[in-house]
Amino acid sequence: HEHSSGEMRVWSRVLVVCFLGLCLVVGEVASLAPARPARGGMGVAPRRVKLAPLGSSGDGAQLPKYRVDLDQPPGVRWNDVMKDKRAAAHKTITSLFALLPEEVHTEVDKLVLHVEKRLPVWAREEMQGIAAALNVTFGDILLVNFFFEITPFCTSVIARSSSTGHLYHARNLDFGFGMPSFSENLRDLAMEVEFIKGGEPAFMVTTFAGYVGAATGMRSGVFSVSVNEREMTGPLPIPNLLKGVLNLINAILTTDAYPVTWATREALEDDASTFNSVVKMFSERSLATQIYLIIGGASEGDGVVLTRDHNSLLDAWKMDAASGEWFLVQTNYDHWLPMPIWDNRRKPAEKALSKVGTDAILPSSIYSNVLSLDPILNQLTVYSTIMSCAEGKYESFLRKCEGCSPI
């Protein structure tokens, strides 16, 4: 009975936090413009966005680059980053929790007592170090990190160039559903990080200061990966914010399910990782979030989109250039289902890639002619990243298009 009542108290605390967090999201949704044309719908042509000159601080500017030394203790390895990003991180955390009463922070701190022992040591100690550097609670940083697991919208592309023989993996990260003010704050936190091990570069990620997971990353010569939220499911897709709340509860309260971006970070860090081993791991591991994993490799045929439920692989969509399928486009909906009429980014992306052609596909053409088209680029797009695993090339750019589609 004591165990049962204790478990009920934990569930009650989680539901309080999640309910209030959901109210925050719904409040942001209500603030959007009430009526607008469907994105990428029939008769709506993609619009190319005017790019900013190189070296500017606006749309198209390269993200700042940092190095994180994995040989340092986890609790201090982010100190230099957080010193530079302290003001922006405080602003983002403040905006996220602005509508949450003090009681919620107290409940989160109580939750920490139940989940801290279930976290991997590296993640726990890194978040503790970040919390200390920002002079905030560990509970605040933990909740921010879980929040990143449930809200990003994205467009990911893998395409093969017949002229170079290489695969190019690109993505726009849109953050997040109905939260334009939060997206604006995140632009100040977006960065490229090169992780160093034994004095040598180990892998790259594009991320946000204060976030320890990896939603976009590459281990040169081995694999590249982007994580897209599986935001809508079923024969009639509808906004699934409740699913996100359940994912958060699942991540906090279960011992076997694992945050996907933490698993991605560990795979990037593992010296033994191969393209095939990473695909196998993500096909089998129990994950805290329904998700799409877009994985590229160094060989021509190494391109796949994995559609995952919490405990099982639902679909493995493989590139087949020999049969004419030389690119894959994944947004936030199952690729075998019709896209929702109000958010069909996939069709404009596929049309743009076909127009460029496999012989002309390069990082520059993907960026200019695919990732920079409205609605693939929209008001919530925070960054674009383009990766070439075989060539070891990795570039990330700030995105800001106030005249683009709202979401």
Could you list the active site residues? 154
- Give the three-class secondary structure for 237: coil
Type and span of the H or E element at 307: strand 303-308
The tokens for 91 are 């602003």
Residue 110 contacts residue 143 (beta carbons within 8 Å): no
| 196-203 contacts, C-beta under 8 A, 24 or more apart | 196/67, 196/68, 196/69, 196/70, 196/71, 197/69, 197/70, 197/71, 197/269, 198/71, 199/71, 202/70, 202/268, 202/269, 202/271, 203/268, 203/269
Nearby residues of 299 by Cβ (< 8 Å), 6 or more positions away: 167, 275, 390
To the nearest 10 degrees (0 to 180), the angle between helices 2-30 and 102-115 is: 130
Residue 41 contacts residue 170 (beta carbons within 8 Å): no
CA distance 299 to 389: 9
CA distance 131 to 140: 8
